[in-house]
Structure 1
Amino acid sequence: MASTELGARLKQFRQQQLTQTALADKLHVSRQTISSWETGRNQPDISTITQLAALYAVPVDTLLRADAGTAATTKRIDRYSTSLLLVLLGIFLVERVTQLSTFPGFYWIDFLILLLMGLLVNLGLAPRYPNVWTIRVHWTGLTIFAILSLISGSVNAFNMGFGLMTTCQFGGLVVVIVLVRKYWHYRSTKTR
């Protein structure tokens, strides 16, 4: 690993959150030390790299490996997730327009549509701001969407009618399947 690659990654993560002076204060080093790390003149020791990883909320591998920067985020939140959200958004929009329901039922579907749109915006931000929080927001949001969809569809919340009720159940079930699949994939790669 060339020290300039490490320096570039350190600079990339630092610029998302802090100035050189602010980071130097947090690590109890001089601003010039931070600058020398980022330009590749020197490298931080392993304990400092661990502190930096904790500060930026990323794994240590993300700081050390050349292929672990933004690629790590896009690997964890893959294109499959974007396709899933777009398909679900399309289904919910079509159902919103074509089905008859009560006003509270429509408001509920509008809320679920806004939740899907928020998750899509989060996916759009993931490559630009690669950190653990973007990934956590994505998977937590999907879990909340699945729970709300399944419960509201199962109890026919707000008397939304058969079409919207079925759409909620279907959307929630699909997301649950994706979450279980992703969890098992995560577990299998973690044990290797």
Structure 2
Amino acid sequence: MKFADNLKLIRQQRKMTQTAVAEKLHVARQTVSSWENERSYPDIGMLVKISEVYGLSVDQLLKGDLGMLKHYETQTALGKRGQRTLRNGYYLMVPALFLNYLGNFLHWQGGLVVMVDLFLMMIVLTLIFQYPDFKRWVATPRQRWGLVAIIVMVGTLNLALSLPVSLVAVPGNVGNVAAYELGRASGLIVGAFIRIFIRTIAFVLAVEIPFQRRKTE
């Protein structure tokens, strides 16, 4: 029997709705539906949670589905490599974020600022592409609104820290300055907004990744 069919049969035998299962697993009902219709598969950690909810072993859930067994073998190999990347990236991102804020308060300028910004940007992009569990961050309306609140709060803080410094470079009287100076000021403002965006994402990742890990342990 295929894993999806077995998963649906077990749920029906337990007389549980997809909504009830989703609430116990802290996922959306559509996620449970996609598992039962073979549109997606739960990861290994979620598979263990499903087995606990239904009171069965993982082997009983898989029911000899060779395709699923191969899928999880591949996922395990990729997962170990991905976890190392995530762990190393996270431990690099936190001090890079600290240096980014420190540079703002100490008014660092020139190449050092650019290096720190680029380094932080590369780490953030790596974590975004490697992190597999973003859907769990917004599985419920409460989680979604909580994440929005964090992003708005941190984004506002970063806006207050970065933008005034860049606005100082904007000419007061555009008619009396060269086009070069106006372009330079515009570049500083664009750079400030990019820095605000990267800082905000990095701060959210720094807070949410360990928080989500504790929830799944």
TM-score by length of 2: 0.32
TM-score by length of 1: 0.35
Larger radius of gyration: 2
